[in-house]
Amino acid sequence: MLLAFGNFTADPSVNLQLLIGGLALGAIYAVVALGFVLVYKSTDVLNLAHGEFLMLGAYFALTFLISENLNFFLGVFVLLLVMLVFGLLVHYGIMRRMVGQGFFAIVLITLGIATIIRALLLIFYGPTERARLDLLPQGSFEIGGATVRYVDLIIFAVVALCVLLFFLFFKYTRLGLHMRAVADDIEAAAAMGIDPDKVYAMTWAAAMVMAGVGGLLFGHVTGAIDRSIEAIGLRAFPAAVVGGLTSLGGSIVGGLVVGVIEQFANGHLGTKWREPVAFSVMFVVLLVRPTGLWGRKDLERV
Amino acid sequence: MSITGLDLKIQGLTVVYGGVTALNDVHITVPSGGFVSVLGANGAGKTTLVRSITSLLYLHKGRVRRGGIELGGKSILGKKGPDIVKAGVAQVPEGRKLFPNLTVKENLLCGAASRKDISGIDESLEQNLELFSQLRPLLNQTAGLLSGGEQQMVAVGRALMSQPALLICDELSLGLAPKIVHRLFELLTEINETRGTSILVIEQNASLALQHANDAYVLELGRVLMEGTAAELRGNPMVQELYLGGGGEAHTSYAAIERPGRSRPLEHGQRPPVAES
Tell me the pLDDT tens digit for each residue of A241-262.
Answer: 888 888 888 888 999 999 999 9
Q: Report DSSP state, residue B58.
A: G
Which residues face B15 on adjacent strands?
B23, B64
B60 within 8 A of B54, measured Cβ to Cβ: no
Domain range holding B48?
1-87+208-267
Q: Is residue B195 part of a domain?
A: no
Q: Is residue B54 part of a domain?
A: yes
- Chain B residues whose CB is inside 8 A of the A185 CB are 97-100
DSSP B240-253: HHHHS--SSS--S-
Q: Is residue B188 part of a domain?
A: no
Contact of A171 with chain B, judged by CB distance below 8 Å, is answered with no
Which CA distances in Å does B208 have to A170, B38, B39, B159, B179? Answer: 41, 12, 11, 21, 11
Spatial separation of the C-alpha atoms in residues A226 and A52, rounded to whole Å: 11
> How many domains, chain B?
1
Distance of CA A10 to the CA centre of its chain: 32
The confidence score (pLDDT) of residue B239 equals 85
Residues 183 through 202 of chain A touching chain B, CB cutoff 8 Å: 184-195
- For chain A, the straight-line distance linking the first and the last C-alpha, in angstroms and rounded, comes to 37
Q: Is residue B201 part of a domain?
A: no
**Residues with Cβ within 8 Å of residue A145, at least 6 apart in sequence:** A12, A13, A16, A17
- Chain B residues whose CB is inside 8 A of the A301 CB are 101-102, 142
Q: Is residue B20 part of a domain?
A: yes
Q: Is residue B92 part of a domain?
A: no
H or E element at residue B74: strand B74-75
- Taking an 8 Å cut-off on Cβ atoms, the answer to whether A193 and B109 are in contact is no
The confidence score (pLDDT) of residue B263 equals 43
pLDDT by residue for chain B (277 residues), tens digit each? 456 678 999 999 999 998 889 999 999 999 999 999 999 888 888 889 999 998 888 778 888 999 999 999 899 988 888 889 999 999 999 888 999 989 999 999 999 998 888 888 999 999 999 999 999 999 999 999 999 999 999 999 999 999 999 999 999 998 899 999 999 999 999 999 999 999 999 988 888 899 999 999 999 999 999 999 999 998 888 888 877 775 444 445 444 444 434 444 444 444 444 444 3
- Which residue out of A101, A186, A192 would a mutagenesis test of the B interface target, given it has the greatest number of B Cβ atoms within 10 Å? A192
H or E element at residue A284: helix A274-288
- Chain A residues whose CB is inside 8 A of the B98 CB are 185, 188
A246 within 8 A of A149, measured Cβ to Cβ: no
Spatial separation of the C-alpha atoms in residues A213 and A293, rounded to whole Å: 25
The confidence score (pLDDT) of residue B248 equals 43
Distance of CA A240 to the CA centre of its chain: 8
- Taking an 8 Å cut-off on Cβ atoms, the answer to whether B114 and A300 are in contact is no
- Taking an 8 Å cut-off on Cβ atoms, the answer to whether B56 and A187 are in contact is yes
The confidence score (pLDDT) of residue A3 equals 46
H or E element at residue B224: strand B223-229
| Residue pairs between chains A and B whose CB atoms are closer than 8 Å | 83
Q: Is residue B130 part of a domain?
A: no
Spatial separation of the C-alpha atoms in residues B41 and B242, rounded to whole Å: 9
Q: At what angle do helices B148-160 and B178-195 cross, to 10 degrees?
A: 20
- Chain B residues whose CB is inside 8 A of the A191 CB are 54, 56, 81, 85, 91, 93, 97
Q: Is residue B158 part of a domain?
A: no
- Taking an 8 Å cut-off on Cβ atoms, the answer to whether A177 and B102 are in contact is yes
- Min CA distance, A245 vs chain B (Å)? 16
The confidence score (pLDDT) of residue A244 equals 84
Of the candidates A181, A195, A296, the beta carbon closest to that of B82 is on A195
Rg, Å, chain A Cα set = 19
Using alpha carbons, select from A58, A49, A57, A37 the residue that is nearest to residue A94.
A49
The confidence score (pLDDT) of residue B3 equals 62
Q: What b/e string do you get for A176-211 counting C-beta neighbours within 10 Å, with b at 16 or more?
A: bbbbbbbbbbbbbbbbbbbbbbebbbbbbbbbbbbb
The confidence score (pLDDT) of residue A6 equals 52
Q: What is the CATH number of the domain that holds B233?
A: 3.40.50.300
Coil, strand, or helix at residue A294?
A: coil
- Chain A residues whose CB is inside 8 A of the B144 CB are 299
The complex scores an ipTM of: 0.79
Q: Return the HEC string of B149-173.
A: HHHHHHHHHHHHCCCCCEEEEECCC
B220 within 8 A of B55, measured Cβ to Cβ: no
Residues of chain A with pLDDT under 70: 1-9, 296-302
